[in-house]
Structure 1
């Protein structure tokens, strides 16, 4: 069975390396450079070129990748959409994130500042649990293209999703500091899972995913 995986903002297939999914052919959707003034749905539409539309489509998206997965599911028929450490609409943002979206304060800061701020605070907000995890996370952040990062942050802050897919499967950790669980509705709980639980809760996450494939 083919399953398409979409990583978080600027990340790549490294975040999925610890998942144990026997019988699953993992296909990783790669980020492409956004076009000038490109909106999220148009971008998602371009990503569908990486999907075999002659077969059933199952999408798994993490964080920003979960938002992209939902946008793709509006464009092509999907058998299943699974989001991890993500949100189904801006209604699931924390009040802090909602304030950032409302004020658009993120537009005041250059990419270099945002990237180094991310590096300094990443271990706390992502909930890394070892030096190895921290190293992996920091490398992913450093590898993120600055232009893509600014575009993706703006798209996340401007995202509207009033018509939520009813059969979406949402897996979320109770200790997520980027999308706190307090605002999340209708989800499968992973106790003490943080925003990096795809790495440090991979065994439990794998069990849940295998039950839904």
Structure 2
């Protein structure tokens, strides 16, 4: 049974690569109907698969029939978490449903192993890390991104980049809802199929377009699967 009020829908939020739950700070779900829970990245043990990590993260979900919402790499993770839970709904934002939606540069990295040469120690530099995590020009947003990028441990960064590049999912999670911006620089819209398109939305739209989500996310959560 849920540890929260039975009348509320538990919504678990998973941030993107290296990001903190603060990326969701401006989201406002009606408290009468929803209970929001914010998950955080932890440093994986050596050799941990994405599925093993998803199992560990699923153990932090204490409600029955939760809604899982993940952004970017967090969207990939919540799809893997769904195998260990019985979620009411899975929603991904600025993410991909299968490896078929990966941009070509990630496919090249997958087969050439070029990502293994990436000096992730440089990603402790917030400007470099923000380009990998958010894909936006950062000259005017550096302080903002420094606030949101919380995980700079090279063990996590090496692991996360490898798991993104080598993601094996071939079929989308049944009933999944995909929200994607048509100006996303990390996962370009031309590779994305079957999504709710946000006009002008970038990879960071969960931060910069929070009003769009506040207006629409409650209805998206409550919408019946058959009508999505």
> Secondary structure of the residue that 1:125 maps to in structure 2?
coil
What is the match of residue 32 of structure 1?
42
Q: Distance in 2 between matches of 1:156 and 1:22?
A: 33
Instruction: From the superposition, tell whether residues 203 and 147 of structure 1 become closer, same or farther in structure 2 (CA, over 3 Å).
Output: same
Q: Distance in 2 between matches of 1:120 and 1:13?
A: 15
Instruction: From the superposition, tell whether residues 178 and 31 of structure 1 become closer, same or farther in structure 2 (CA, over 3 Å).
Output: same
The match for 1:148 among 149, 156, 160 is: 156
What is the match of residue 192 of structure 1?
200
Is 1:94 matched up with 2:103? Answer: yes
Q: Deviations over 1:21-66 (max 9, x none)?
A: 112221011222211111000110011121015x211100000000
Instruction: From the superposition, tell whether residues 41 and 91 of structure 1 become closer, same or farther in structure 2 (CA, over 3 Å).
Output: same
Instruction: From the superposition, tell whether residues 74 and 52 of structure 1 become closer, same or farther in structure 2 (CA, over 3 Å).
Output: same
Offset at residue 138 of structure 1 (A): 3.1
What is the match of residue 181 of structure 1?
189
- Any gaps of 5 or more consecutive residues in structure 2? 1-8, 222-228
Contact 2:14 2:78 in 1 (8 A): yes
Q: TM-score, normalised by structure 2?
A: 0.85
What is the match of residue 110 of structure 1?
119
What is the match of residue 88 of structure 2?
79
Q: Deviations over 1:76-120 (max 9, x none)?
A: 111100000000011101112211222110101221234447247
> What CA RMSD, in Å, does the superposition of the two structures yield over aligned residues?
2.1
Contact 1:67 1:86 in 2 (8 A): yes
Q: How many pairs were matched up?
A: 210
